Structure 1
Amino acid sequence: INELIQKRQLLEAFASIKLMEDETISERDSEKYSDNPQEFVRKSKDVDLLYNSIANAIQSIVEGTLEDPTLQHTMLTSMVILIAREEAAHPNTDNAARPGSDLLGRPRKWREQWREAINESARKRVLKAPMASKEEATFWLDLHLHFLQEHLREDLLKIKSSVKKCYPEEYHVCDTYVEAFHNAIASHLQELSQEPLDFHELYTLLDWVANTYHSELFLGHPELKPEVKTENLSLLLAPADWDKLKNDYIASAKGKIRSYFGNILRLEVTEKWEKEVHSEEKENLYHHSLSFDIQTIIGEHMKLSGAISRSLETKMLELCMAELLEFLPRFEQEFTAWSTAQDSPIFVPYLVAYINSFHDLVSGLETAFKVNTEGLQKILAALTRNFTNIFLTKLRTKAQPLLKKILTKNWILATERPDSLASAVSQFSEHLQHMREPLGQELLHEVHKYVVKEYVTQVIKPRWKMNSETRQQVSRKMSLEASIIHNALIDQGSDADWLLPAINHIANIIGEKKKDKIKAYVKELCQDYPDIR
């Protein structure tokens, strides 16, 4: 009988074992073994061992179904007949065997063992998919999942086209195999998800589960339809495992997003500031890619996360915004340190470009991602104020030496050019024309106001007595410089026309001899500028 089993002549082997079993039962019932119970136990065990050998053969046949390149149709057909004969020979009734003789006459449940064999076959097929180590291949998980879906899809195609024909409908062969593969893959992925996976690997696993598994690339492949059905399959990963995978991905993304933002800053320092590359200009505004770069990073990660689930997309947006709010103060700190350390000609163009970009960033995030930018706007408002304060500080540094020369002998003797102050200020402030309104005009207004105020402060300081001729000379020069300063800043876009009379009023007072006219000029000055008192 063992030889028949080894040769896979299972129907003949089963018939022989059944005769042996029936004979043993008959002898038992005739109480042949009453004097030799050990002989009965031995024969019963022989029957059981032989039946187990057939069960092992069934398992081997099932596992070989997908392993062997050529399908043994006859073998499968014989196996199905064998299972049917065993079920007929051993009806599933409680009276199949008497107490004490449970090895004989009992149903062998080979159909259940057939299902278990399919489950084991599926498990082995899943584990057989090539999987390189992290050291061998950077994208080891991508490759492994690709091999897995390719190999198992081929298995399912073989089951649909060839294996299914060997079984009666009642076996539901395709459904049984699909469920077995599904459970084997689920177990395998659960193990993979417990590994220390990096950002890319976590996304690869999430994407494969969410988008590849049921797609046409795998179970939804057109050639597998309609036999392969996925509607009734359980979740590939348990909700707790799925949530953990998503949370791990977000946690890993935190470092990745921070790194991307850090790279933006690093490139600004090394490729722009240190090399003094001038900012771009678009539609008369200084332009910088900062807003675009940030939105691109956020957009790409939201798109990837949104392909997994809406909740993951929301979490990713929240993470990106949190990292952005942390990044901007670092950006401000670096720019402030760089601008303080040196007097670079690209400082003002970049300051203008950054402030423009901040505006674009807020409007872009609101439009593209429907995000609440209240917190961002507060940070950017403070950052913009700090940037403009740096600008005004640098302006003072450039203007103060020239302002201090006013009413000095060299200034009076006209060795200093009358446009030197206006030229220095306008060269520094000319870039404000390329700042988005109203910020550009507001800052230019501040510049205009500062220059006039400081000019007035210098000329009303107690100096020395001047004769009439000198006073006339000073008055004319002040009026000339006032006009040059005013015209230069108005040409750049300042709307502070109200500042024009300030210096002229004082010039008139200095150049006037008559007290009543001086009083009239002072009155006009105080009326136009009450705070001058």
Structure 2
Amino acid sequence: MEKSPTSNVKGVFRRLSLFRKSDGHLKQKPSKKAWKPFSSEEKEEEVTTEKFEFKATEIPLKPCSVMQIQNYIQTDMLKQAYLNLLSLRLELERSAKGEGASQANLDKKEKDLSLLYDTLRAKMSVIVRNSNKELLVYVAHIILEEEKRQGEPGAMQGWREAWRDAVLNGVWDTLEKVPLDSREQNASWLAVHLELLGKAVVDDLDRVKTELLSSYPEDFKVYETYVSCHHEAVGEHLKKLVEKVTELKDYYTLLEFITHSYPSDLKDQQRTLIKEEDLNKIKTACCECQKGDFKLELENFIMFEKEVWKKKKSPDRTDGFLTSKIDMGICQLIASYAGNLEKIDKNLGKSIIPSCLEELNPFYTRFEEEFSQHTVSLLTSDLLDCCLWVEYHITYINSFNSLKENVQCYKDICSAQVEKLEKEVDGLTQRLRQALMDHFISEVKPYMDNMMTKKWLKTDEDFKEVASRIENYSGLTKSMRAPSAQILVNDMHYYVAKEYVSQLMKKKYSCKKPKNEDAAIKMREQWKELKKLFVEMGSSLNWLYPLGNYLSDIIGMEFKKNIKDLLNPLVSNYPDISKKQLSAVLSFRDNGFSLEKHNVINHFTVLKRDAGNTNQERSFFTNIE
């Protein structure tokens, strides 16, 4: 079983000789036992009792010269120096009582005594600082003696405080000897230094236990004082080291040392290694550095993706879905930051998460700018590059949606930041989807504009081009994750249906019998083909499918008067169709005026009035110009 720091000392400083002033003379106070600093078992370190005894008879009746006392101090003859100082104090005391001394002489002696005490204290501080074991017993003896004489003339204050200051300076000397490389010399400069620093502290305190405790009485609390001084010195040393720290790994190392690596048995006996406010400053600086590091890593993600775009690399696939590593990389980075800091401080680990999520907001803008700038040229190249452009958009829609899902685990920690991130991601993915939609429109619109014309009635060329592009996108949208895939497919379906029907409203062509029947057949077949394509793509806009049949039935009806019978399901399912739009459909069938046509319009007006606001949530004809 390990001994306590003072267990090897038996009865050290049980009684020290005291000198009291009585009628101008010094008398020795009776003591039970002479002071013996070491046990008899420690013969190699044994010091005789005689050299520590201050006997009244040893105090010179007349002190030696100031120069001689000074010499005693400088040559480490502390006992002779101190006995003569006591003698000088008595002489000064007698002179002060008027025994033949002038004021000038008194002033001189007071000044000499003060200077000598200053010199003695300075010498004692050097001894303590250098841990001169043989002389430390004199130091302790003199301190105790002076503390007993605090009320006497010429007494000097603060001996114990001066002793502790000397201990602290000695500790500083120890710490300053610990090697400290520069960052340029060693990338692990701080980790190496702190490891050596911790070892130096432990070794020094072991030395205190084994070598110095026996030189002091118990009430000096030597080990505790050295522990306290090490805490103070190491704490101040760490504050200086912080000024040299600029890298995240070094902040981790520093905080790990403060909270975990610094010897636990020392922390248990003392206050925290550094003040809470100083520790918080380090934590704040660490978080700021981490934010900067995160920002730099985000920029590296963009740089990596730029290389992908530059080299026209095909995106990766996971379970059939196009994806990049950007979302997983960001999530892993945030998790690693939080995990590293949680090992140091659980609250600190949580506090970095909101900062990271906030830093993602400007990242999205930066990414979008770089993406648009570096991929737009693909649209002006060949068909393969155009397909790659589409794949890239799908890739990042998938990746950022995945990122949004993965940060849901932080909602309990920072709900405001998670909600803001969701909005930012939704905005970004919506713009990426819209870019795809705009590209799709640019591809099919020229062919859609040729619908419902004389040429359209004669050939399927333009429609086949539209169908071909829908098929191309059908394959690509299957590599997009829900819900974005569903939104894009529905948008495409809605656009094609609206654009197809809107061609009827533009009055570009009017059929003549029997061409209206041919047009109705073609329209029914093409609408059927569109339905097939969008069903395969997974469109959920089922309510659009009957529209083509309703319109083709009106266009192909042989007798105008019978068209009235076809209006009820049309108005019921698409109540936003206007009289002007129905007139355009009738004009495409036959632009001639007739009473039957007039009656159809009147009947339509009645149906519209009776239908009211039915199915107003399904807006279709309203969006057709």
Shorter-chain TM-score: which interval?
A: 0.7 to 0.9
Task: Find the structure with the greater CA-based Rg.
Answer: 2
Contact kept in structure 1, 2:232 and 2:274, CA below 8 Å: no
Query: How much does 1:487 deviate?
Result: 1.0
Corresponding residue number in structure 2 for 1:421: 466
In the alignment, the residues of structure 1 paired with residue 399 and residue 236 of structure 2 have an alpha-carbon distance, to the nearest angstrom, of: 49
Change (3 A) 1:289 1:201: closer
RMSD: 3.9
Question: What pairs with 1:100-499 in structure 2 (closer than 5 Å)?
Answer: 102=154, 106=155, 113-193=162-242, 195=243, 197-200=245-248, 203-204=251-252, 208=254, 210-213=255-258, 215=260, 217-220=261-264, 229-268=266-305, 270-338=306-374, 340-343=376-379, 344-368=386-410, 370=412, 371-372=414-415, 373-408=418-453, 410-414=455-459, 416=461, 419-466=464-511, 468=513, 470-499=515-544
Give the aligned residue type for 2:268. Answer: E
Task: Tell me the matched-pair count.
Answer: 500
Change (3 A) 1:107 1:442: closer
Secondary structure at the residue paired with 1:419?
A: helix
Corresponding residue number in structure 2 for 1:68: none
Measured against aligned partners, the alpha-carbon deviations of 1:445-481 in whole angstroms (never above 9, x if no partner) come to: 2211211221122245323455546545444433332
Measured against aligned partners, the alpha-carbon deviations of 1:160-203 in whole angstroms (never above 9, x if no partner) come to: 3443355443332221111111111222233444x374252772
In the alignment, the residues of structure 2 paired with residue 24 and residue 322 of structure 1 have an alpha-carbon distance, to the nearest angstrom, of: 73
Give the aligned residue type for 1:132. Answer: D
Query: How much does 1:42 deviate?
Result: 8.0
Contact kept in structure 1, 2:137 and 2:215, CA below 8 Å: no
Moved more, 295-304 or 279-288: 279-288
Change (3 A) 1:196 1:116: closer
Query: How much does 1:59 deviate?
Result: 3.7
Measured against aligned partners, the alpha-carbon deviations of 1:199-252 in whole angstroms (never above 9, x if no partner) come to: 527724xx53x542363x4322xxxx5xxx433533433344333333333344
Between the two proteins, what is the percent identity of the paired residues?
Answer: 24
Moved more, 355-364 or 317-326: 355-364
Give the aligned residue type for 2:129. Answer: E
Structure 2 unmatched runs, 5+: 1-67, 380-385, 579-625
Give the aligned residue type for 2:262. Answer: F
In the alignment, the residues of structure 2 paired with residue 509 and residue 363 of structure 1 have an alpha-carbon distance, to the nearest angstrom, of: 49
Corresponding residue number in structure 1 for 2:130: 64
Contact kept in structure 2, 1:279 and 1:288, CA below 8 Å: yes
Change (3 A) 1:164 1:219: farther
In the alignment, the residues of structure 2 paired with residue 296 and residue 56 of structure 1 have an alpha-carbon distance, to the nearest angstrom, of: 59
Give the aligned residue type for 1:63. Answer: R
In the alignment, the residues of structure 2 paired with residue 24 and residue 390 of structure 1 have an alpha-carbon distance, to the nearest angstrom, of: 98
Measured against aligned partners, the alpha-carbon deviations of 1:32-56 in whole angstroms (never above 9, x if no partner) come to: 9947998898888888777766655
In the alignment, the residues of structure 2 paired with residue 498 and residue 23 of structure 1 have an alpha-carbon distance, to the nearest angstrom, of: 115
**TM-score, with length taken from structure 2:** 0.68
Measured against aligned partners, the alpha-carbon deviations of 1:330-351 in whole angstroms (never above 9, x if no partner) come to: 3334444556554232333333
Measured against aligned partners, the alpha-carbon deviations of 1:409-454 in whole angstroms (never above 9, x if no partner) come to: 5544436275332121221243323433344223212211211221
In the alignment, the residues of structure 2 paired with residue 424 and residue 214 of structure 1 have an alpha-carbon distance, to the nearest angstrom, of: 63
In the alignment, the residues of structure 2 paired with residue 88 and residue 306 of structure 1 have an alpha-carbon distance, to the nearest angstrom, of: 49
Measured against aligned partners, the alpha-carbon deviations of 1:130-188 in whole angstroms (never above 9, x if no partner) come to: 23344544554444333322322222233234433554433322211111111112222
Contact kept in structure 1, 2:450 and 2:462, CA below 8 Å: no
Contact kept in structure 1, 2:128 and 2:136, CA below 8 Å: no
Aligned counterpart for 1:92 among listed residues 142, 148, 157: 148
Query: How much does 1:508 deviate?
Result: 4.0
Change (3 A) 1:92 1:457: same
Moved more, 127-136 or 478-487: 127-136
In the alignment, the residues of structure 2 paired with residue 16 and residue 488 of structure 1 have an alpha-carbon distance, to the nearest angstrom, of: 110
In the alignment, the residues of structure 2 paired with residue 531 and residue 27 of structure 1 have an alpha-carbon distance, to the nearest angstrom, of: 118
Change (3 A) 1:437 1:5: same
Change (3 A) 1:108 1:291: closer
Corresponding residue number in structure 1 for 2:61: none
Change (3 A) 1:502 1:15: same
Contact kept in structure 1, 2:146 and 2:159, CA below 8 Å: no
Measured against aligned partners, the alpha-carbon deviations of 1:316-369 in whole angstroms (never above 9, x if no partner) come to: 223222222232233334444556554232333333333333433333222245
In the alignment, the residues of structure 2 paired with residue 421 and residue 474 of structure 1 have an alpha-carbon distance, to the nearest angstrom, of: 18
Corresponding residue number in structure 2 for 1:72: none
Moved more, 87-96 or 40-49: 40-49
In the alignment, the residues of structure 1 paired with residue 259 and residue 436 of structure 2 have an alpha-carbon distance, to the nearest angstrom, of: 58
Moved more, 491-500 or 248-257: 248-257
Query: How much does 1:58 deviate?
Result: 4.1
Secondary structure at the residue paired with 2:317?
A: strand
Measured against aligned partners, the alpha-carbon deviations of 1:354-412 in whole angstroms (never above 9, x if no partner) come to: 33334333332222452313222333333333233222211110111221232455544
Change (3 A) 1:318 1:188: same
Change (3 A) 1:16 1:262: closer
Moved more, 465-474 or 368-377: 465-474
Give the aligned residue type for 2:246. Answer: D
In the alignment, the residues of structure 2 paired with residue 532 and residue 339 of structure 1 have an alpha-carbon distance, to the nearest angstrom, of: 41
In the alignment, the residues of structure 1 paired with residue 278 and residue 370 of structure 2 have an alpha-carbon distance, to the nearest angstrom, of: 42
In the alignment, the residues of structure 2 paired with residue 92 and residue 363 of structure 1 have an alpha-carbon distance, to the nearest angstrom, of: 75
Contact kept in structure 2, 1:63 and 1:117, CA below 8 Å: yes
Change (3 A) 1:169 1:489: same
Query: How much does 1:259 deviate?
Result: 2.4
In the alignment, the residues of structure 1 paired with residue 288 and residue 121 of structure 2 have an alpha-carbon distance, to the nearest angstrom, of: 49
In the alignment, the residues of structure 1 paired with residue 178 and residue 279 of structure 2 have an alpha-carbon distance, to the nearest angstrom, of: 23
Change (3 A) 1:350 1:42: same
Moved more, 41-50 or 168-177: 41-50
**TM-score, with length taken from structure 1:** 0.78
